[in-house]
Chain A
Amino acid sequence: MNPLVTLLPPLLVIPFIIFFGERQKNIRELCIFIAGGILLVLNISLYQNFLDGQTIVSGSITLFDGLKLYLKAEPLGILFALLASFLWIVTTLYSIGYMRGHNEKNQTRFYVCFAIAIASVMAAAYAGNLLTLFVAYEAITLSTFPLVTHSGTEKAKRAGRIYLGVLMGGSIVLLMPAIIVIWWITGSVDFVSGGVFNESEVSPFWATLLLMLIVFGTGKAALMPFHNWLPNAMVAPTPVSALLHAVAVVKTGVFLIIKVIVYIFGFDFIASTGAADILLVFAAGTILLASLIAMTKDNLKERLAYSTISQLSYIVMAALIANTLAAQGAALHIVSHAFGKITLFFCAGAIMVALHKKAISELDGIGKQMPYTMTAFFIAAISIIGLPPLIGVWSKLVIAEGAIEGGQLWLVAVLIISSLLNIAYLLPIPIRAFFKAAPIEGDNYQACEMQEAPLACLVAIAITTLGCIVLFFQTHTISELLSLI
């Protein structure tokens, strides 16, 4: 099967979204569900074709000089595409509850941009070479920009400026020259297992510099000091923060880094040149610093954003360790963090819709009002922290094993400290909600009544929470796929 077909459902649904518009909301959203369902089915059948040993590659467009754009499925991409297309459906379900409950304006534009973003994510997931991935990366930035500035307020516009500046600026100033240099040195930007470099061509200094350009230029991976756009982007509607800024957009960033390390640099090349050494410090620093900053944030979405930054660096760090085990851990963490964080964001949005509360300090006692939401929040938080029986435990474990195998014991220490920090910034939220008494105000009696989010939101939360649990028992399917890298 041609991987290009995965771009079609999200793109073809756009005319329908525009046609039905605000007048017939139900049909509009039904169309998106259908498209999402088809997309998921297509991805699953691609996955099965791949397991059957077929080469899944699309036709190519030659830009110039033999530079090509084409799609090709490989294990990491299939995993990412499956993840994104599944969560797209869940997020659409959630959006229906959220966007209507919150009376957001310009919902049609919102869904259109969302669909374009998903199509771009599919292109990124199946990108056959670095250039295609770069093109998809830019397309994601552009299509999500209107989602960040969605509300049109001054704050949103400022966030939009930072978003465009860091993501697009970084990619053009740092990432693009890196790609050009790779092209210039090796004459190829294809993803080849084992990498395209050989040691005689590039000195350790240049290898380090090149890797730094790529890792920092990929602003979506939010490695410090290029993380600032992510907390700012939290002005976007919550479904955007949930799917895009916890899963699709940021994961495209780390996905690019993993792909470059696995298929362009190659493990051996990194090990022999030591190109990743400095960057490992940056990644470890980001993990710890972002966790510490997260603790100081009172705005729930912002705290989650810093938590995302920290978690993304797990993946970057695992990729930089540069061995098979760690790379598998990185890919696994893409999945585990996606399910955990999207649930947390869904919960944050649900609280916003139901109770109009954004700050953590206002959440005292809301466990009585929103018991389901807060339970889900608790479970997802545990998954992020990395305790069984939730998916989060496996990815952390594999990354730690990879670090040990790579001889980087200090990284295991970083992982442990970071897990403690996770506990410190995530668990107080459900604890406050369940065990603290609600503040006494004039009409306090209301606080004891159930006041849950719309049903659509709750169902979506339930699905992703279940995902965290189910995947704990189903990790072997993912591992089997990843063992094909």
Chain B
Amino acid sequence: MPYNIHFPALLIVLPLMAAPLCVIVRHSFFSWLIAVVVNICVVLFSVSLLLQVIDGDVIRYTLGGWAAPTGIEYYIDTLNAVLMVVISIISFFSLIYSKASIQAEIAPQRYYLFYTGWLLCLTGLLGIVITGDAFNVFVFLEISSLSMYMLIALGKERKQALLAAFRYLIMGSVGASFILLGIGFLYAATGTLNMSDLALHLVDADQSRTVIVGFSFITVGLLIKSAIFPVYSWLPNAYQYAPSAVTAFLAGTATKVSLYVFLRFFFHVFGSEYSFAEMLLGKILMPLAIVGFFAMSIVAIFQTDIRRLLAYSSIAQIGYMFAAVSMATEAGVAAGVIHIINHAFIKTALFIAVGCIAYRLGSSRIADMGNLIALMPWTASAFIIGGLSLIGVPLTAGFVSKWYLVTAAIDSGWWSIAIMVLLSSLMAIMYIGKIIEVFCFRKTTENMKGADVKEAPLFMLIPLWALIIISVYTGINGSIVVGTAELAASQLMGGML
């Protein structure tokens, strides 16, 4: 028996079991250490899984030996394997960063709770991605969401953090219940919950009204969860008031995972033919995506708080991803996946940079950040590189994303979308340019003069620069991400069952 046969189960079970361990230990340092060690294992597991499926194979792992569709199975192809790697790497770097950052944000007696929540959230996110069972998706969605609400509520500004968590809770629960209802309808129509099995049965049943209702519920639920325009209202507050490490983690993973579920359901379970040709999902999503990336980029320009600015930019980026997948072509899905991966690294890096700044400055108002390039050169330059990547300057990961998005649009004849994507880049230039200008050419403001602003601690800089290096590397040697994404897209579109 090969040593790695149980990696899929271990990937989920390990963090799940480690979470209560943190509660038992109740020690701030050791709970951090547990989380980090577990996370390293998770990174190794997911990389190993990715290496197993990178040739186009699919791993189907039956939990407890109960064969699907009776039992629950974990279904791993290139798409979710690569996402698991992304999630675990982002979680790892954010964890390293959190060690120093939470000292300024969370009371020491709550540290172990923080890491417990973190591990549960990681479990949930990985579970959503790995599972091949529709109901299981919902279960893991709830695990990740509930722990996420708790993590957000730990934020420094108590009132706003609680309120943000509550708003997220309401919206998230509405989304999750819609998804649950949808899955219920599908179960009623087909009598199965296994995704691959569902896909087979839905072919016969796809004219039934039950399926249509289920389809609609799942659509709305996923849109809320992935914060697409106009159901994004939970996101800016959550990103702004959560502890900075949580924001970094959340920004890189939460909405991306929902987008993954979207891909899994509408391309794999329902099939792109049904979702996009019959149900015309693209016709609904494309306008939302376009309005989303335009409107949110404009809103981002006018933000005065840097975290809020990045939050709105995130919603805009989600718009790009949805625009890409809504084309429902292989190139479009590949472009979407490329952007999911690239943007995850970029945004996490940016939020970590902002966290470093806020850690030293005690403020995340853009106006207070004058002359930061001299005060915190490493942090500020990392932020600038990340920002350029958002704009899509060549040799950054963002350029690869944009190139593919535009080619995909031209390929499928959506010239107008190609143009609009590029026009919206102008706005990215504006909001990033605005910050660069403050960093480099504005003097330190009066109320910041007293503060002793210096470079962030090394422990925060290492994860920041690691992520920046990853995103620049994937920008220069884009073939890694592109190759995987194209394989993932062709598997997803090819009805790989």
Which residues of A line the B interface, CB within 8 A?
61-65, 67, 131, 134-135, 138, 142, 146, 149, 152, 156-157, 160-161, 164-165, 168-169, 172-173, 176-177, 180-181, 183-184
Report yes or no: B419 in contact with A177, Cβ–Cβ below 8 A: yes
A residues near B406, Cβ cutoff 8 Å: 176-177, 180
Q: Which residues 439-491 of B have a CB within 8 angstroms of A?
A: 440-443, 476-479, 481-483
Q: Given A168-B391, A177-B419, are A160 and B426 neighbors across the interface (CB < 8 Å)? A: no
Closest to A145 in B: B436
- A63 with B479, Cβ < 8 A, contacts A149-B441, A177-B406 known: yes
**CB of B7 within 8 Å of the partner chain:** no
In the complex, whether B157 has a CB less than 8 A from a CB of chain A is no
Cβ B410 vs Cβ A172 within 8 A = no
Report the Cα distance A61→B394, complex, angstroms.
Answer: 13
Q: In the complex, are the beta carbons of A64 and B482 less than 8 A apart?
A: yes
Contact B479–A64 (Cβ < 8 Å): yes
Task: Say whether B395 faces chain A, with CB atoms less than 8 Å apart.
Answer: yes
In the docked arrangement, what's the CA distance between A64 and B486, Å? 11
Among candidates A65, A161, A176, A183, residue contacting B437 with C-beta atoms closer than 8 Å:
A161
Interface centre among A67, A131, A157, A169 (most CB of B within 10 A): A169
Most B CB contacts (10 A, CB to CB) among A67, A134, A149, A172 go to A172
With A and B bound together, what is the CA distance between A160 and B406 in angstroms?
28
With known contacts A135-B395, A173-B425, A63–B440 Cβ distance under 8 A: no
Find out whether the CB atom of A172 lies under 8 angstroms from the CB atom of B426: yes
Tell me the smallest distance from the CB of A479 to a CB of chain B, in Å. 34
**Within the assembled complex, what's the spacing in Å between the Cα atoms of A157 and B434?**
10
Using known A-B contacts A172-B425, A184-B407, determine if residue A149 contacts B437 with beta carbons closer than 8 Å: yes
Which listed residue (A65, A134, A184) contacts B479, Cβ 8 A? A65
* A164–B433 touching, CB < 8 Å: yes
Q: Does B10 contact A (CB under 8 A)?
A: no
A157 touches B400 (CB 8 A): no
Q: Which residue of B lies closest to A173 (CB)?
A: B422
Cβ B437 vs Cβ A160 within 8 A: yes
Whole-angstrom distance between the Cβ of B357 and the nearest chain A Cβ: 20
Contact yes or no, B394 A138, CB < 8 A? yes
Of the candidates A62, A131, A164, A183, the one having the most CB atoms from chain B within 10 angstroms of its own CB is A164
Q: Does B429 contact A (CB under 8 A)?
A: yes
Contact (A146, B440) CB under 8 Å given A180-B407, A180-B410: yes
Contact with A along B393-409 (1 / 0, CB 8 A): 11100001011001100
Q: Is the CB of B429 within 8 A of A165?
A: yes
Known contacts A63-B479, A169-B429, A172-B422: A149-B440 contact under CB 8 Å: yes
Q: How many whole Å from A467's CB to the nearest CB in chain B? A: 34
Q: Which residues of B contact A152 (CB under 8 A)?
A: 441-443
Contacts of A164 in B (CB 8 A): 429, 433
CB distance from B470 to the nearest CB of A (A): 16
CB of B388 within 8 Å of the partner chain: yes
Q: How far is the CA of A176 from the CA of B423 in the complex (A)?
A: 11
Kindly list chain A residues whose C-beta atoms are within 8 Å of the C-beta of B410.
Answer: 180-181, 184
Q: How far is the CA of A97 from the CA of B440 in the complex (A)?
A: 26
Contact at B429–A168, with CB atoms within 8 Å? Answer: yes
Cβ-based interface call for B55 (8 A)? no
CA A138 – CA B391 in complex, angstroms?
12
Q: Is the CB of B392 within 8 A of A63?
A: no
A62: nearest residue on chain B (CB-CB)?
B479
Contact pick for A160, options B441, B443, B477, CB 8 Å: B441
Closest to B438 in A: A157
Q: CA–CA, A177 to B402, complex, Å? A: 10
Chain B residues lying within 8 Å of A61, measured Cβ to Cβ, are 476-477
Instruction: Give the residue of A157, A165, A176 whose beta carbon is less than 8 angstroms from that of B422.
Output: A176
Closest chain B residue, CB of each to CB of A149: B441
Q: Name the residue on A nearest B486 (C-beta).
A: A65
List A contacts of B394 (CB < 8 A): 131, 134-135, 138
* Residues 295-343 of B contacting A (Cβ, < 8 Å): none
A183: chain B residues within 8 A (beta carbon):
407
Instruction: Pick the most buried of B402, B429, B477: most chain A CB atoms within 10 A of its CB.
Output: B429
Query: In B23-41, which residues have CB < 8 Å from any A CB?
Result: none
Chain B residues within 8 Å of A177, by CB: 406, 418-419, 422
In angstroms, Cα B433 to Cα A135, docked, is: 19
Which has the most chain B C-beta neighbours within 10 Å: A64, A160, A183? A64
Q: Who on chain A is nearest to B480 by CB?
A: A64
Contacts of B440 in A (CB 8 A): 146, 149
**Docked complex Cα distance between A99 and B197 (Å):** 74
Contact B393 A138 (CB under 8 A): yes
In the bound assembly, the distance between CA atoms of A184 and B430 in angstroms comes to 29
Nearest-neighbour CB distance to chain A for B426, whole angstroms, equals 5
Separation of A157 and B423 alpha carbons in the complex (Å):
23
> Which of the residues A142, A157, A173, A181 comes within 8 Å of B393, measured between beta carbons?
A142
Which residues of chain B are within 8 angstroms of A64 by Cβ–Cβ distance? 400, 477-479, 481-483
CA of A349 to CA of B402, assembled, Å: 42
Structural contact, B391 and A63, CB atoms closer than 8 A = no
What residues of chain B lie closer than 8 Å to A62, measured between beta carbons?
477, 479
Given pairs A131-B394, A173-B425, A183-B407, 9 additional interface contacts (CB within 8 A): A63-B478, A67-B403, A149-B440, A164-B433, A165-B433, A172-B426, A176-B402, A176-B403, A180-B406
Alpha-carbon separation in the docked complex, A149 to B483 (Å):
41
B411 an interface residue at 8 Å Cβ cutoff?
yes
- Cα–Cα, bound, A134→B399 (Å): 12
Per a CB cutoff under 8 Å, which of A63, A67, A173, A180 touches B423?
A173
Given contacts A64-B400, A65-B482, A177-B422, contact A157 B437 (CB under 8 A): yes
CA distance A65 to B418 in the complex (A): 19
Residue of A nearest to B371 (CB): A152
Task: Name which of B392, B394, B407, B441 has the most chain A CB atoms within 10 A of its CB.
Answer: B394
Instruction: Point out the residues of chain B lying under 8 angstroms from A184, CB to CB.
Output: 407, 410-411
A142 close to B388 (CB less than 8 A): yes
- A165→B430 contact, CB < 8 A: yes
A135 contact set on B, CB distance < 8 A: 394-395
17 A-B interface contacts by CB (under 8 A) = A61-B476, A61-B477, A65-B479, A65-B482, A134-B394, A135-B394, A135-B395, A138-B394, A142-B388, A149-B437, A152-B442, A169-B429, A173-B422, A173-B423, A173-B425, A180-B406, A184-B407
Residues of B within 8 A of A149 (CB): 437, 440-441
Q: Known A134-B394, A172-B391, A184-B410; judge A165-B479 contact (CB<8 A).
A: no
- A351 CB to closest chain B CB (Å) equals 27
**Whole-angstrom distance between the alpha carbons of A359 and B130 in the complex?**
70
Complex: A178 Cα to B486 Cα, angstroms? 24
Q: With the chains together, A149 CA to B440 CA distance in Å?
A: 9
Q: How far is the CB of B218 from chain A (nearest CB, A)?
A: 33
Which residues of A sit under 8 angstroms from B430, Cβ to Cβ? 165
Q: How far is the CA of A64 from the CA of B401 in the complex (A)?
A: 11
The 4 closest A-B pairs by CB, nearest first: A64-B478, A64-B482, A135-B394, A64-B479
User: What separation, in Å, do the CA atoms of A227 and B406 have in the docked complex?
Assistant: 27
B441 touches A173 (CB 8 A): no
**Across-interface contacts of B423 in A (CB, < 8 A):** 173
Bound CA span A138–B388, Å:
11
Chain A positions within 8 Å of B422 at CB level: 172-173, 176-177
Chain B residues within an 8 Å CB radius of A131 = 394
Q: Which residue of B lies closest to A174 (CB)?
A: B422
Which of chain A's residues have a CB closer than 8 A to the CB of B483?
A: 64
Distance in angstroms from A455 CB to nearest chain B CB is 32
Q: Taking the nearest CB of chain B, how far is it from the CB of A128, in angstroms?
A: 15
Contacts of B433 in A (CB 8 A): 161, 164-165
A63, B476: Cβ atoms under 8 Å? Answer: yes
CA distance A181 to B429 in the complex (A): 22
Q: Which residues of the other chain, A, contact B393 by a CB distance below 8 angstroms?
A: 138, 142, 168
Produce 1/0 per residue, B216-246, CB < 8 A to A. Answer: 0000000000000000000000000000000
Question: Which chain B residues lie closer than 8 Å to A173 at the CB level?
Answer: 422-423, 425-426
Instruction: Write the nearest CB–CB distance from A68 to chain B, whole angstroms.
Output: 11
Max chain A Cβ within 10 angstroms of own Cβ: one of B402, B411, B437, B481: B437
Nearest CB on B from A113, distance (A): 11
